[in-house]
Structure 1
């Protein structure tokens, strides 16, 4: 069994269908949460700032506009991770209320856990993504 990147809500479930994605987007919109779409080819767990696809989508009441933007992002970046984020601004700041993947590359090379020993035999660990060994734009080649 191949391990997949686990990122955001629903990450241990099978990939969501477009109908299931639309239902989650509707849930976010029903709660008044603006939605944005982001993509990356460097899914390192500490890489929380992905590239935004367009501007956040405010004042929508139907998921159709979001689904069209997801399709456009997928078409432009077929080998990137694509995620949807919904923001709750009730506390006066932008708080992520919901985040989930809507696309992943067909092949995910995974991560390396590197261990080093320091002074006093202290162990330090570093997570490196195998994908980042290739330059941007050449990662996740078919």
Structure 2
């Protein structure tokens, strides 16, 4: 266990904060992000896009980008909405959520664009 890595994160350093499981891994490539969206679609979960300022990312409230995409199965449409949100709010973090209707909770959640602190 001596090889365990400590992640240096703090409230004062906005860029060091972790938000979900994928935050502890290297940034996903476009293809890896696509695979995650394909997984959300394959599970029948409803995708949604959310965003917030980096300094507010640890709060439980993120802004909803449009309405959740109920029943959307086209991966390109979902990725296009995430990109449109990022273009409209380039300094904000943008995350993709997969809502599980059966469990009535989030089945997946990942930051797909990291904003720059102002």
Residue deviations 1:54-109 (CA, integer Å, cap 9, x gap): 11012122211111001100101111111111111113xx3011111111124xxx
Q: Structure 1: which 4+ aligned runs deviate by more than 3 Å?
A: none
Aligned match of 1:98:
108
Per-residue CA deviation, residues 102-136 of structure 1 (Å, 9 max, x unaligned), is: 11124xxxxxxxxxxxxxxxxxxxxxxxxxxxxxx
What residue in structure 1 maps to residue 18 of structure 2?
A: 6
Tell me which protein shows more helix as a share of its residues.
2
CA distance in 1, matches of 2:29, 2:88: 19
Name the structure where strand makes up a greater proportion of residues.
1
- Give yes or no for contact 1:38–1:84 (8 Å, CA) kept in 2: yes
Q: Which of 1 and 2 has greater Rg?
A: 1
Residue pairs, 1:1-142, within 5 angstroms: 3=9, 4-41=16-53, 42-44=56-58, 47-91=59-103, 94-106=104-116, 140-141=117-118
Aligned 8 A contact 2:45 2:98 in 1: yes
Q: Which runs of 5+ in 2 are unaligned?
A: 1-6, 10-15
How many residues align? The count is 104
TM-score normalized by the length of structure 1: 0.67
List gaps (5 residues or longer) in structure 1: 107-139
What's the Cα RMSD here? 1.7
TM-score by length of 2: 0.80
